[in-house]
Amino acid sequence: MSGTMTQIKFTIEADIIRTFKSRCEAEGISMTSAVRDWMKASRPAKEPKLDTGTRPHRRKAVRVIISLLNDIWDKEAEYRDNIPEQFVQRHDDADQACSMLEDAISTLEEAF
């Protein structure tokens, strides 16, 4: 069975390459430049970099992190509270995650 699947995979890949090559020839561009253009276009947009060079910006970054951690804690606590009683291990794991998030949040708040 695995030999058949491998053959199908190579057949599909060969068809894709053949189609790509004929399309590049029809458009009069090289395969290399088509791949390069596709890679440039498919890169995810970079998030704006937060200027942390000044003290106010660093404080703002820490506030944003605390806010994100609080959101994660809220979701984890809601998950923990909705776990049925028979899943003790899941509840304990979620409870431990909440405790670690609380520790992280309090440590960052103390940094202010």
What is the C-alpha R_g of the chain? 26
Q: Which of 32, 105, 25 is nearest to 71 (CA)?
A: 105
Q: What is the mean pLDDT of residues 102-110?
A: 87
- Residue 112: is its pLDDT beyond 80? no
Q: Are 44 and 87 in contact (CB under 8 A)?
A: no
Q: Are 69 and 108 in contact (CB under 8 A)?
A: yes
Distance CA 110, CA 38 (A): 47
**What pLDDT score does 111 carry?**
76
Q: pLDDT (tens digit, 9 = 90+) per residue, 73-86?
A: 898 999 889 988 88
53 or 103: whose pLDDT is higher? 103
Ranges of each domain in the chain: 2-42, 55-111
pTM of the model: 0.49
| Token pair listed for 66 | 């605390």
| Token pair listed for 23 | 């399309």
- Residue 10: is its pLDDT beyond 60? no
